[in-house]
Amino acid sequence: MKLYIVPTPVGNLDDMTFRAIKVLKEVDFILAEDTRTSSVLLKHFEISNKLIPHHKYNEHQSLMAIIERLLAGQQGAVISDAGTPGLSDPGFLIVRECVSKGIEVECLPGATAAIPALVNSGLPMDRFCFEGFLPQKKGRQTRLNSLKEESRTMVFYESPYRVLKTLEQFVVIFGPDRLASVSREISKIHNETKYGTLEQLVSYFAENEPRGEFVIVVCGLKK
Is the model's pTM score more than 0.85? yes
pLDDT per position as a tens digit, 82-113: 999 988 888 899 999 999 999 999 999 998 99
Residue 219's pLDDT band (cuts 50, 70, 90): very high
Domains of the chain: 2-107 (3.40.1010.10), 114-218 (3.30.950.10)
Residue 182's pLDDT band (cuts 50, 70, 90): very high
Cα angle 151-157-163, degrees, rounded to a multiple of 5: 100
Contact 49, 27 (CB under 8 A): yes
